[in-house]
Amino acid sequence: MATPLMDQYHRIKKQHPDAILFFRLGDFYEMFYEDAKTAARLLGITLTSRQKGDMRVPMAGVPYHAAATYINRLLRAGQRVAVCDQMEDPETAQGEIVDREVTRVVTPGTLIDDGVLEDKRNNFLAAVCGSGAMRGLAWIDCSTGEFQAADVTREQLIHELARLVPSECLIPASGAESDAGEVEALRRAVGVVTPFHDWTFDPANARKGLCEHFGTSSLDGFGCGDLGPAVGAAGAILEYLHETHRASLKHVTRLVRGERVGVCVLDRASIRALELTESLREGDRKTSLLGVLDRTQTAMGGRMLRDWLLGPLTGVEAIRRRQAGVRELMTDSSLRAACRRALQGMSDLERLAGKIGAGRATPRDLGGLRDTLGALPVLAAHLAEARAPILVETRADLEVPGELADLLRRALVDNPPAVMKEGGIFRAGWHEELDRLQGIGAKGKSWIAAFEADEIRRTGIPSLKVGFNAVFGYYIEVTNTHREKIPADYHRKQTLKNAERYVTPALKKQEEEILHAEERARKLSQGLFVELRDRAAGFIPALQRVARAAAVLDVLAALADAAVEHDYVLPDVDDGGRIEIVDGRHPVVERTISDRFVPNDVLLDTDGHRVVILTGPNMAGKSTYIRQVAVLVLLAQVGSALPARSARIGVADRIFTRVGAADDLARGASTFMVEMNETAAILHNATPRSLVILDEVGRGTSTYDGLAIAWAVTEHLLERTRARTLFATHYHELTELARLMPGVKNYHVAVREWGEGVVFLHKILEGGTDKSYGLHVARLAGVPRDVVARARAILAALEEAALDEADRPRAARRPKERSGEPRQLSLFGGRPGEKAGAEGEEAGTEPGPEGAGGMGRASRVARAVARSAAAPAAPVEDPLRQALKALDINQLTPIQALEKLAELRRAAGGGGAAPGSIPS
Ligand code: ADP
Ligand code: MG
């Protein structure tokens, strides 16, 4: 059964057991055996089989020109693909079969194909190693060559991965077996986890490999000399690329130290809750902050904006530098328009540099590069008058490598082809020999035309034609009607249905000359193109610099454009602890609702306004408001303008946002545990300079637990962490904190009661609420009237019960502090440890003996509800009422009426007959 071809297949497959092997056969990539079955299932392509001796081999194939899309789909399904190509031309191959080799292994993190990668998003490959408290992290975008490394703590590692969202992450193979828990955590944070050879992570090995690649003697020049495990991670990445890519990595020109200094770290939960890059529910980019702000004209700008949003700055000077750029572009609308116009249609220089470095740039790519380089001086000229330092600097960095621009302009035709095989790449005059060979081809073609005319004259056959096809070459075609007129020197070559094809020695000779010249021209032009591309590769660092500058300008202009269009202002940014916003709006909600958005103010500081408790009914706008504050602070630190009348922002070192589990609908698997985990992370990590946004935290559990937790968390934030905090809660009991502790302010969302309904005004006002309006909302939502009425009765009974049994109003009192012990508060009055019957039942913070609290609560609720049932909603008819109803006034004389009235009065207790004896 073994054929040479299948032998070759097995030999190659053995080297790539963990990848699906795309085996090039003619115009198809074929897959065999298990690969074929997997691919057929994942791609929905037909599974066929091929007889091999006495065995049937499952196979499936995809056309080679469509391979990129299929590969991408396999990658998304978590597979990797080894692409095996034909290394020689089948027509000229010497051996029994064509030589084949794997030219690259495509994995999610090493993708560089156009049309598969998202333009405005980096595709990162990461590597993680190290044990104990420190981790080495490195990441690269293979399409651009951006390569960074940082030593991080375990906590930082998770934040970094949440920001980078790598599509693949390498770990040492031995770690994959030994630390299942950590691998599982990684798996949640990244697309695919790939175990890779341990030795590649070894810092000494890695350092050597990196220095070799960069052609340096140490990593000091990159400021990475003292990196620890991060060097190992970077080395593993480099080795992995060598192993998978089999292409040059000339575009990987430097290793950047990736520590996040001067950056406000956002964790995964905050990125999600603030909907920075995608909306919470639909995962939609359009209705995210990025979607609203992204007016960038280039892909590189789009990627940079995303990076800026996920890494707001903490340094006031750095923020003001960006602000100055945005301000100038906001005020000078003609400068803004000119820059945006010049940026539009600019190629993705960063990825072009990547393709040049990897040896994958096509003639069309270099044509795009030439055009973009041509447009850059125009862009730079617009900036000639700019004053903001960031714009001045950008202008300097836009300086085009003139030599490269000139080279490409002279070399390439106006519209170079997408593939280099076909020729037609170079301008006349670029290369003498190429011109000569192309001249022969062209001359040969006119010779053919003349030859045809001569033959028509000589033979007298008007329909005689000279044609060409790839198999038979040039031929003379004569229809059968003229067969008798054929001259003796014509040699028959091919017979068709109605015609015969011939050649003559002269035609044959000419054909050889033409084909020979064309073939040589093609070969030559391919060689010349590779040479041109290699020369361009020498300019990669310069191209990367230009790309970064263009991206910065693009982002600044985009921010300015959004600011002008949506009426934003630049905030005053400083190091003080005050956050003061007048008439702030939520940038995304204001664009997505049809109603008018109601602006709101905010004041937070490190003193009397440290913690704001925001209460109000469901749907009032609490979540929108508190997120709005976080988003505006974030925008300020990005350097952007923000939707408000005016704003002063004391920068935050971190912005934490937590949404109570019950409110976080999008995350199906959300649990109270997750909510508490995230809350714990805030309590451990927030500082007085942090901004903490809590939305209904504590809601994921029962009322009393939840309230108790919310209360304790707030206390901790207020007194220990001292972070600026906004807490939206439906536990209006929390408002009592304001009376007890300085630094807490109550706000509520204004609601107008309207008959039995409510109207949401979305206006935030000072003071707390003592009403939760849940019933109003239930009514608005269409819950049947009698259910709402019954709920109202139960509510009244419960509230009354709380008064009755606690024997006083529900108010929290602050017990005396006991030295050394953490201060505790009981929520509904009563001191911890105080012996109390009914009280013990209520104190949610105090675990009652043997769960008596729970039982007591249940029975109390039951009693109250039972009592409410006894107070009838529709009262039972009483005898007086019955008697009144029974009266027929038309049948009574005035005297009788008076008598009746007296009788009824007596019945009502006004003296006289008992109720039972009313005459009818
Ligand atoms: P809550 O958290 O109080 O239940 P949300 O913040 O989810 O309320 O807001 C409910 C809805 O009210 C939002 O979807 C939005 O359409 C609207 N809304 C919120 N704030 C405003 C505002 N300031 N102006 C206008 N509409 C708003
Ligand atoms: Mg809410």
Q: What is the pLDDT of residue 771?
A: 64
Are 362 and 418 in contact, with CB atoms under 8 Å apart?
yes
Gap from CA of 663 to ligand 2 centroid (Å): 7
Rounded to the nearest 10 degrees, the angle between the axes of helix 402-411 and helix 505-537 is 170
Strands 124-129 and 168-172: parallel
Ligand 1 atom at shortest distance from the alpha carbon of 760: 12
Gap from CA of 800 to ligand 1 centroid (Å): 32
Determine whether 274 is exposed, middle or buried from the number of CB atoms within 10 Å of its CB (0-12, 13-18, 19+).
buried
Gap from CA of 749 to ligand 2 centroid (Å): 12
Gap from CA of 729 to ligand 1 centroid (Å): 14
Q: Whose CA is nearest to atom 17 of ligand 1?
A: 621
Q: What is the DSSP letter of 906?
A: I
| Ligand 1 mutation pick, 624, 627, 776, max ligand atoms within 8 A of CB | 624
End-to-end CA distance of the chain, in Å? 112
Ligand 1 atom at shortest distance from the alpha carbon of 749: 3
Gap from CA of 623 to ligand 1 centroid (Å): 7
Q: What is the DSSP letter of 920?
A: -
Measured CA distances, 132 to 153, 205, 267 (Å): 9, 21, 21
Gap from CA of 597 to ligand 1 centroid (Å): 9
Measured CA distances, 2 to 8, 54, 248 (Å): 10, 11, 36
Residues with pLDDT less than 50, the chain: 1, 662, 664-669, 804-855, 872-873, 912-920
Q: Whose CA is nearest to atom 6 of ligand 1?
A: 621
**Rounded Cα gap, residues 640 and 292, in angstroms:** 13
Are 348 and 119 in contact, with CB atoms under 8 Å apart?
yes
Gap from CA of 520 to ligand 1 centroid (Å): 71
Radius of gyration of the CA atoms of the chain, in A: 39
Gap from CA of 636 to ligand 1 centroid (Å): 23
- DSSP E strands, 662-780: 691-695, 724-728, 744-754, 757-766
382 closest CA partner among 351, 326, 339: 339
| Ligand 1 mutation pick, 619, 699, 769, max ligand atoms within 8 A of CB | 619
Q: What is the pLDDT of residue 731?
A: 81
Ligand 1 atom at shortest distance from the alpha carbon of 618: 4
Ligand 1 atom at shortest distance from the alpha carbon of 592: 16
Are 245 and 104 in contact, with CB atoms under 8 Å apart?
yes
Q: Whose CA is nearest to atom 26 of ligand 1?
A: 597
Ligand 1 atom at shortest distance from the alpha carbon of 624: 6
Q: Whose CA is nearest to atom 13 of ligand 1?
A: 621
Q: Whose CA is nearest to atom 10 of ligand 1?
A: 619
Q: What are phi and psi of 834, to 5 degrees?
A: -65, 130
692 closest CA partner among 158, 270, 155: 270
Identify which ligand lies nearest to the alpha carbon of 769.
1
112 closest CA partner among 285, 306, 246: 246
Gap from CA of 313 to ligand 2 centroid (Å): 28
Q: Whose CA is nearest to atom 15 of ligand 1?
A: 621
Q: What is the pLDDT of residue 806?
A: 43
Identify which ligand lies nearest to the alpha carbon of 625.
1
Identify which ligand lies nearest to the alpha carbon of 761.
1
Determine whether 239 is exposed, middle or buried from the number of CB atoms within 10 Å of its CB (0-12, 13-18, 19+).
buried
**Rounded Cα gap, residues 208 and 204, in angstroms:** 6
pTM of the entire predicted model: 0.79
Gap from CA of 629 to ligand 1 centroid (Å): 14
How far is C-alpha 167 from the geometric centre of its chain's CA atoms? 12
Identify which ligand lies nearest to the alpha carbon of 697.
2
Q: What is the pLDDT of residue 847?
A: 37
Q: Whose CA is nearest to atom 5 of ligand 1?
A: 621
| Ligand 1 mutation pick, 589, 600, 694, max ligand atoms within 8 A of CB | 589
Which residues form the pocket of ligand 1, taking CB atoms under 6 Å from any ligand atom?
A: 589, 593, 595, 597-598, 616, 618-624, 762
Dihedral of CA atoms 232, 234, 240, 245 in degrees, nearest 10, equals -160
Q: What is the pLDDT of residue 849?
A: 39
What's the full length of the chain, in residues?
A: 920
Determine whether 919 is exposed, middle or buried from the number of CB atoms within 10 Å of its CB (0-12, 13-18, 19+).
exposed
Amino acid at site 860: R
Gap from CA of 765 to ligand 2 centroid (Å): 17
Are 209 and 127 in contact, with CB atoms under 8 Å apart?
no
238 closest CA partner among 212, 216, 264: 212
Q: What is the enclosing helix (H) or strand (E) of 345?
A: none
* 3-state secondary structure labels for all residues of 240-298: HHHHHHCCCCCCCCCCEECCCCCECECCHHHHHHCCCCCCCCCCCCCCCHHHHHCCCCC
Q: How many CA atoms lie within 13 A of 896 on its CB side?
A: 9
Q: What is the pLDDT of residue 910?
A: 67
Q: Whose CA is nearest to atom 16 of ligand 1?
A: 593
- Helix, coil or strand: residue 112: coil
Q: What is the pLDDT of residue 261?
A: 84
Ligand 1 atom at shortest distance from the alpha carbon of 617: 3
Gap from CA of 273 to ligand 2 centroid (Å): 11
Angle at CA of residue 313, ends 309 and 318, nearest 5°: 125
